[in-house]
């Protein structure tokens, strides 16, 4: 195996760290110096070599530790993975999509061998070598969706398409930004997005649903979403708010660079072949403020976005109380120089910070 995997935690002592490689490839979500909701969909047809967009399902240095954290969450709360009875075929579709994608995109890490319905799956990083019968649940240790999403970074919402709407009828959700699968299971697209401010009045969700209903097999789409998290905690669920909510009160001028994290979701959308369901992977990436500001363009831009974000959006994204502290820190890395358009670091062309 060519990739080196970190041994790290996303709870308790929070030993999670990004390498320089992980910092440079972080999916920074702001293409300009301000932010407002938009549909911001594009085709998921790869991206620059080494970027998080290059492969269908990104695997990085955090893979093994993220899968360990998922197992801990499921042991504490099995309802983080649910599938309504009619979604079993969609689970097999998802298993096939991920196994084929990973074995093709990372052949040194994953292997898939198929002889009719007799399949052998080898996951080298996790030490898994299983043989099973495709479409026969009795030959797997878990249902097909749970089996493969225990081995895949990010959350997964599996959406049934009917009545000109999308219904969240299955999912694996252990790295979410303050929403609950157990609460949302069985809801439609508008119901589970009900808490989001401004976007309904702006017509964002009507346009997004129209786009998603027309996603075709073989033409996946993607977008980015973002919020803020104190400490690199993956599981910021409502069920565990008593554990992570209080951490927002622990920021100081001395520790904010290390403790405050930008949390970005790479959201992708794949049409599944047999069930016609739409799978919605939500891959979470975390980066500390002190790492963001090592990229001059990102440091300048994040300060401007946080400073100018409307109050209701800052409140919804959970950092309104800590915004003054954030701005005091980030202002040190904004010298007022213009930034180049787009999300890339542009380290070769962006001027260094002018002290």
Active site residues: 223
Q: Which tokens is 210 given? A: 């129209």
Residue appearing with tokens 């959201």: 267
The neighbouring-strand residues paired with 10 are none
DSSP track, 285-327: EEEEHHHHTTSHHHHHHHHHHHHHS-HHHHHHTT-TTTHHHHH
Sign of the C-alpha dihedral, residues 154, 241, 264, 349? Answer: negative
Residue 295 in contact with residue 25, Cβ under 8 Å? no
Residue 61 in contact with residue 6, Cβ under 8 Å? yes
Rounded-to-integer distance, Cα 21 and Cα 136, Å: 41
Instruction: Return the SS3 of 207.
Output: helix
CB burial class (10 A; 0-12, 13-18, 19+) of residue 2? exposed
Rounded-to-integer distance, Cα 339 and Cα 293, Å: 14
> What phi-psi label fits residue 163: left (phi over 0), alpha (psi between -120 and 50 degrees) or beta?
left
How many alpha carbons fall within 13 Å on the CB side of residue 133?
5
Residue 24 in contact with residue 345, Cβ under 8 Å? yes
State the DSSP code for 209. H
What stretches of the chain adopt beta strand conformation (E)?
42-43, 81-83, 110-115, 118-123, 128-133, 155-162, 165-172, 221-230, 260-271, 278-288
Rounded-to-integer distance, Cα 26 and Cα 298, Å: 11
């Amino acid at each position: 195996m060519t990739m080196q995997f970190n041994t790290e935690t996303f709870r308790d002592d929070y030993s999670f760290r990004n390498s320089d490689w992980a910092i440079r490839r972080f999916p920074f979500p702001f293409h300009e110096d301000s932010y407002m909701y938009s549909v911001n969909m594009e085709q998921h047809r790869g991206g620059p070599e080494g970027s998080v967009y290059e492969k269908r399902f990104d695997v990085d240095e955090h893979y093994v530790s993220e899968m360990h954290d998922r197992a801990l969450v499921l042991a504490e709360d099995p309802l983080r993975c649910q599938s309504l009875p009619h979604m079993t075929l969609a689970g097999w579709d998802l298993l096939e999509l991920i196994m084929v994608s990973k074995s093709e995109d990372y052949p040194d890490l994953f292997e898939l061998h198929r002889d009719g319905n007799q399949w052998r799956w080898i996951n080298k990083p996790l030490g898994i070598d299983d043989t099973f019968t495709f479409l026969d649940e009795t030959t797997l240790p878990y249902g097909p969706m749970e089996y493969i999403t225990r081995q895949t970074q990010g959350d997964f919402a599996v959406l049934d398409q009917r009545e000109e709407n999308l219904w969240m009828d299955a999912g694996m959700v252990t790295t979410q930004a303050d929403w609950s699968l157990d609460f949302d299971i069985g809801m439609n697209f508008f119901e589970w997005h009900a808490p989001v401010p401004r976007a309904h009045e702006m017509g964002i969700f009507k346009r997004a649903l129209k786009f998603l209903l027309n996603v075709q097999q073989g033409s996946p789409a993607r977008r980015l979403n973002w919020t803020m998290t104190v400490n690199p905690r993956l599981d910021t669920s409502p069920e565990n708010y008593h554990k992570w909510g209080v951490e927002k009160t622990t920021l100081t001028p001395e520790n904010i660079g290390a403790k405050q994290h930008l949390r970005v979701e790479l959201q992708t959308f794949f049409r599944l072949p047999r069930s016609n369901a739409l799978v919605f992977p939500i891959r979470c990436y975390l980066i500390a403020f002190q790492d963001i500001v090592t990229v001059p363009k990102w440091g300048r831009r994040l300060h401007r976005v946080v400073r100018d974000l409307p109050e209701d959006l800052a409140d919804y994204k959970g950092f309104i109380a800590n915004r003054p502290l954030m701005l005091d820190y980030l202002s040190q890395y904004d010298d007022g120089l213009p930034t180049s358009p787009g999300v890339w670091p542009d380290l070769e062309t962006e001027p260094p910070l002018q002290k």
